[in-house]
Each structure stands twice: as C-alpha cells, then as structure tokens.
Structure 1
Amino acid sequence: MEQQQKRTVRVDEYPLPGGARRPFAVICPGGGYEKISDPLEGENFARQLNGLGCAAFVVNYSVGPAARFPAPLEDVAAAVRDILDRAEELNVDPADYSVWGASAGGHLAALFASEARGWKQFGLPRPGALVLCYPVVTMEKPLTHAGSRLRLLGPDPDPALVESASAEKLVTPAWPATFLWWGEADAAVDPTNSRMLLAAMEAAGVRCEHASWPGVGHGVGLGEGLPCAGWLQRAVEFWRRAVL
C-alpha cells in the first residue's frame, strides 16, 4: 500500500510561526465519509489546539463517490508525509505528532494508527498519540455506521475487507497511546463501537485514557455548554504525558 508517487490532498494549515518548533496534530473531521464536518470537527479543533501551543492540520480526505477504500487512508498518509517534509517551513517538531479524528474521521484516524493498515505501511513514523471523539470503529454489522461502511467499502464488500477495515481487529501493542471519548446518548454511532476499541486496547496493553458522558449525543465537536466541555484540553495533556 506504500505510496509509489506523490498524492495531492488539500490540507488546511494552522501553524504557529516563531519560537521553538511546535508539536503538531493531524485532524480528520467526521462526516460519514460523505462530507468533511468542518469547522465543527476541523477548524474549531485546530484553533483551540493553537491556543494550547500546538500546530494543527485539517485533512480534507476523499469523501462521497471518491471515498472508496483505501483513498481516504492514502490522503492522510500523504498529508503526514508532506507536513514532515516541510517541518522546518511549518515550524513543527516532526517527533511524536498526534492524529485526531471524530466520528467517521475517528475510524480513519484509527486505521492510520494501526501497524497493519496505517503508518508503517506508508513508511511513516508512528504517531505519538491518537485522539478519538465518538468514533466509528467497526465495519461489521450490526454495530457499524451504515453510511460510513457503504461509502468506504461499497454495497457488498468482501468479508476479509470488512474485517481488515474494522479498527478493533487491528489493535496490537504497537498501537499509539490513545485518548478516547464518547457520549452515552449517541444515536448515530452506537457507543459500543468505542467500548469495543477500548477493550481491544486494554487487552493489548496500550496506554489509554477514556471518558464518556451520559446525555451527550453525536457530533458535538468541542462540546461547549455540555458535560464533555474541556475534553480537548484533557486530550492535549494526555498527548504531552504520553510522549514525555
């Protein structure tokens, strides 16, 4: 799956010029592989990360008819490669970057975090941390998000592809340290998705921190005014601890 030629993907850049090189986050917004949910899960995350001293990059990965696997994953890899290649220009520290994803973007971020499907296959360094917000995790029925599965894998995918695109099946001890959160009132993506991934990480001995909130639904972004407000600051603190 490793890239043979340069792939072009639009990345919205939120660097922090001047001073020491900054840690950077690569953000995959949600949208069910149908659209990019920006600014809700893109620019809003990036601006708050900037305020906490982190550079951020929002990946406009392939969606809609162009979303068929592995195109979105190749887009994320191309974005990471370009950022690393331009680290000096962008004033970012190439070590211990983080990958963030919400909803279907969480599924994509998790695939990239896996040794079998992601960073290693593209010849890239492993992320220092993974941050997942109410993610789609499995591609297996009945717990998958049907629209995400349809757009990513097609109407009648091979069972082997379904299994290999289910993030809970890809967790190994090489999985990055992960901050995972979800809302217990999520009516769009069954919270069992997050619990499955959490169980897989715990079984593999992966460092993880998790949180869930009753009454919180899907697609809440920063969660301002909700019980989950402040999750992003917690995630950044976890990222910093994970790479010390």
Structure 2
Amino acid sequence: MKEFAGFGNLLFPMPDRHRDPLTLDQMERLLPYHSHIHTKTTIEVLETLKEEVGQGKKIFYPIYTEEEMRQDPEKRNTGLFFFRGKVDEPFAIVNAGGGFQYVGAIHESFPHCMEIARRGYNAFALIYRPNAYEACEDLARAIAFIFDHHEQLQVSTMCYSLWGGSAGARMAAWLGSYGTKEFGEKPYPKAGTIVMQYTGLSEWTRNDPPTFVIVGDHDYIADWRIMKRRIDHLKQAGIDTSFRVVSGLEHGFGIGMGTKAQGWIDEAIDFWQEQMKKEK
C-alpha cells in the first residue's frame, strides 16, 4: 500500500525462507511461535493504520538518527508504530515476541496497541532487532525517544507501561529490572507497570515495577510455573503483582480472541490504572 511507503516492510515478519507471495489467511506461516491468529484482526489493524495516514497523521517514527542508521544498517529495521489515544494520557510500549528470530507485531503488538488506544491511552508498537541484547537497546532507545519527544507526540510520561509477549516480555521485564542506562541510554524514569505474557524468565530484582502476568497452562514453549515463581518472588518483596493462568491455552495467543483469555487486556489496563493512581 502506498500509505505505508517507507515502513511497510516492517508490518509483517519476512524471514528469508518466505520469498513466495502469501495471502493474509496464510499468515501463520510467518508466525511459527504464535497461535490463535485471526485474519479479521489483522485486516482491522491495517485499516486502522491506513485511516490514520489518510487523516494526515504520522504513524511511524524511526528511533535512530540517519547517521546511526548509516553506521548500522540493521537499525533501519527498527521504529515505533503509534496508536493514538487521548492527548496527554500515559503511554505503553508493546513488544511482540518471536524467539528473537522475528518480530510478530502484526499478531502480538499491533492488536494490543489498538485495544489500549481504545481505552484512551497512547500505545507504541516497537519493531526491534531480533537479538536479545540489541532488542533491549532498541527498547531503551524507544523509551528515550518518547520521553525526549513527548510534547510533540502529545503523551504523558507519567506511569508509562512496558508490555510484551514471549521474547517481548523478557525485554519489558529486563528494562523494568535494570533501566535504560543498562542498555546504553541515559537513566530515564522506570516504567510504572510491566505487562507480561508467556515467557520462561526467572530473574527478577527488588527494584522491579508492579507486574501483571497472563499465561496458559498448555504452553509447551514457556512453562507457566516459571512465571508463577517469579511473580511469587516479586510479591514477597512487596511489589504489586497480578497473575492469571488460563486453562487449556497454549503459547502465543496474543489478545486471546476467541479463547478463554479474551478480554485480558482490560484486566491489564485496570492493573496499570491502579498504579497510575498511586503515582498521582
């Protein structure tokens, strides 16, 4: 689509093995670590973005300078897709998973951002380099970019949240635990809330932000019990937490459309709102 010129290549993961044209109903071939992929939701995301562009709104923001991208061409494949909520409301950054092999944003961050924006909050989907440390560098830069441009973007930096599924959940947790300075940026305020889906991360710190977790008990990629133990440690350290395990649900369910998890994003936003109240 001409509306997405300059960044349309970042909407879908395109590994080298898929050189033949694919239709939207074949998208699961691009997302081997994901499940419950809904073509209708994909179309809704694309139509939403197209409508924003048609209204003259900027929907994509590079996070690196031209000089940085010349020095490291892989940084051209990064950036933030902006789903606008209400002016001067807090923001969320959502990080899709993909095993640090691809970025499944079309299933695991764009739909989340769309739902968050419908609740009035501003949401950014990060497209990052699929390497664990570099991905965290990109997330740290994304936080820096939003803080440094918050007036232009018309977002509040109060009690921002970091979201992620699978590999993206690790990114959100690591930035929550260690902060932006650990990943090459100056120290920015830490997130007010972390929202995590299905990952096998066990490490934690006493500085972790309040954390919301949802997992399925049929997840054969990331055992839900690892997440439960992590949340128990946070809770014992006096950190606000919320943990939900969904029976019969596997890895990579995204917004959970058509599953027992459908509507979980509202629960996560409610948890985030409780943290906002405490910051005021």
Q: After TM superposition, list the pairs within 5 Å mapping 1:100-111 onto structure 2.
A: 100-111=163-174
4+ residue runs of structure 1 moved beyond 4 angstroms?
5-8
How many residue pairs are counted as aligned between the two chains? Answer: 201
Structure 2 spans left out of the alignment, 5+ residues: 1-66, 70-74
Residue aligning to 1:169: 203
Q: Does 1:118 align with 2:194?
A: no
Q: Does 1:188 align with 2:221?
A: yes
Cα 1:208–1:120 shift into 2, 3 Å? farther
Residue aligning to 2:255: 222
C-alpha distance in 1 between matches for 2:221 and 2:240: 27
Residue aligning to 1:70: 133
Residue 95 of structure 2 contacts residue 105 of structure 2 at CA under 8 Å; is this kept in 1?
A: no
TM (normalized to structure 2)? Answer: 0.68
Q: After TM superposition, list the pairs within 5 Å mapping 1:2-21 onto structure 2.
A: 9-16=78-85, 20-21=87-88
Residue 6 (structure 1) shift: 6.8
Q: Which amino acid aligns with 1:58?
A: A
Higher relative contact order, chain-length normalized (CA < 8 Å, sep 6+): 1
Cα 1:229–1:214 shift into 2, 3 Å? same
Q: Which amino acid aligns with 2:143?
A: V
Q: After TM superposition, list the pairs within 5 Å mapping 1:44-193 onto structure 2.
A: 44-63=111-130, 67=131, 69-114=132-177, 117-119=178-180, 121=182, 122=185, 123-137=187-201, 168-172=202-206, 174-193=207-226
Please identify which structure carries the higher helix content.
2
C-alpha distance in 1 between matches for 2:180 and 2:114: 26
C-alpha distance in 2 between matches for 1:185 and 1:54: 32
Residue 196 (structure 1) shift: 2.4
Q: Does 1:238 align with 2:259?
A: no
**Residue 42 of structure 1 is aligned with which of 90, 98, 109?**
109
What CA RMSD, in Å, does the superposition of the two structures yield over aligned residues? Answer: 1.7
Q: Which amino acid aligns with 2:252?
A: G
Cα 1:6–1:118 shift into 2, 3 Å? farther
Residue 15 of structure 1 contacts residue 91 of structure 1 at CA under 8 Å; is this kept in 2?
A: no
Q: List per-residue Cα deviations over 1:29-87 (Å, max 9, x = no partner).
A: 01000000121111100111111101111111111xxx1x5211110000010011111
Residue 180 of structure 1 contacts residue 209 of structure 1 at CA under 8 Å; is this kept in 2?
A: yes
Structure 1 spans left out of the alignment, 5+ residues: 138-167
Q: Percent identity?
A: 27
Residue aligning to 1:157: none
Q: Which amino acid aligns with 2:84?
A: P
C-alpha distance in 1 between matches for 2:234 and 2:181: 18
Residue 169 (structure 1) shift: 2.9
Residue 218 of structure 2 contacts residue 250 of structure 2 at CA under 8 Å; is this kept in 1?
A: yes
Residue 185 of structure 1 contacts residue 217 of structure 1 at CA under 8 Å; is this kept in 2?
A: yes
Radius of gyration: which is bigger? 2
Partner secondary structure for residue 94 of structure 2: strand
Residue 199 (structure 1) shift: 2.0
C-alpha distance in 1 between matches for 2:92 and 2:246: 24
Residue 203 (structure 1) shift: 2.4
Residue 106 of structure 1 contacts residue 136 of structure 1 at CA under 8 Å; is this kept in 2?
A: no
Residue aligning to 1:141: none
